[in-house]
Amino acid sequence: MAEISGAIRPAVAERTRHLRTSEIVWRVALYVVLIGLSLSFLMPLLWMLSTSVKDTAQTYHVPPIWIPTPMRFQNYPEALVAQPFGLFFLNTIKYAALSAIGAILSCSLAAYGFSRIRWYGRDVLFFLCLCTMMIPFQVRMIPLYLIFRDLHWLNSYKPLIVPAFFGGAYYIFLLRQFFMSVPLELSEAARIDGAGELRIFWGIILPLAKPAIAVVGLFQMIDAWNDFLGPLIYLNQPDLFPVSLGLQRFLGQFVEKLAWPYLMAASTVVILPVIVVFFLAQRTFIEGIAISGIKG
């Protein structure tokens, strides 16, 4: 018996060692592929950062120069004074923050009704709400323009802010999934104590839904920050332009000179707030989206 055990132990140890080696090789290969894919996605961003600190000669050098020498950081202040980017940033923050507030209020109320209150036709109406996600903005563009024109809302931020106060299908779905993960016993206990639906919504559900609420607000702000087509349609006065239209105006100013370092410097400044917000709120993004998918 001792001889059999002595013969089995080396075989088991060898198989364990082989499995560990295979696992290490598999993990290394997986990380190499992931790093390669990450670099391929980061390549445009890295090229933009590199070009933003080049001079004209280095921009058109063949083969391309990734690390310019010397780095010309003067491109940033020279680019930012070419257009009133400070005003563009303030305009964008103004309507992006208001649209985020509107999305949070309207979508959370609609999601609460779809998830915590039972009423006839609820699931059918929720299905129709989700179906609106399949209608692209280009289909609604002309009717919305005619409506806002008749309301005399053109050349104002109302067409960019007011629709957010009427909910969005994706954000309603996201919050509904989160609200469904909250135990019903909490709401029932509050009803026994005499609380109404609005009191339960405001005092119990919303405090528990802070991660999902933060995700909706941040998504809406980023969407408003990156929006180009909406401001292009509704805004004609340069003093109302957001950063998206300001960058397009800046492009028109330098397109004949092909001043790519200036264009890349301005583009870097425009996207920098979005990148900073994402990294600062990365944990909130992941937590809110992950918890929102617990129940279907």
Domains of the chain, by residue range, sit at 2-51, 81-292
Q: Is 153 exposed, middle or buried, given 0-12, 13-18 or 19+ CB atoms closer than 10 A?
A: middle
CB 240 within 8 A of CB 90: no
- At residue 150, the pLDDT reads 93
Mean pLDDT by 10 residues, the chain (296 residues): 54 62 83 88 88 85 84 86 87 92 93 88 90 88 92 92 91 89 83 84 86 88 90 91 87 69 87 82 66 48
Token duo for residue 209? 């839904």
Whole-model pTM: value is: 0.79
14 CB contacts (<8 Å, ≥6 apart)? none
Looking at domain 81-292, which of 3.40.50.1000, 3.50.30.30, 2.60.260.20, 1.10.3720.10 is its CATH number?
Answer: 1.10.3720.10
- At residue 294, the pLDDT reads 45
3-state SS assignment for residue 74: coil
- At residue 166, the pLDDT reads 92
Q: How many CA atoms lie within 13 A of 234 on its CB side?
A: 27
Output the CA–CA distances (angstroms, integers) from residue 279 to 69, 112, 226, 258, 283, in the order listed: 29, 29, 17, 32, 8
* Distance, CA of 126 to CA of 131 (rounded, Å): 9
- At residue 121, the pLDDT reads 87
Q: How many CA atoms lie within 13 A of 199 on its CB side?
A: 10
- At residue 295, the pLDDT reads 46
- At residue 218, the pLDDT reads 87
- At residue 6, the pLDDT reads 53
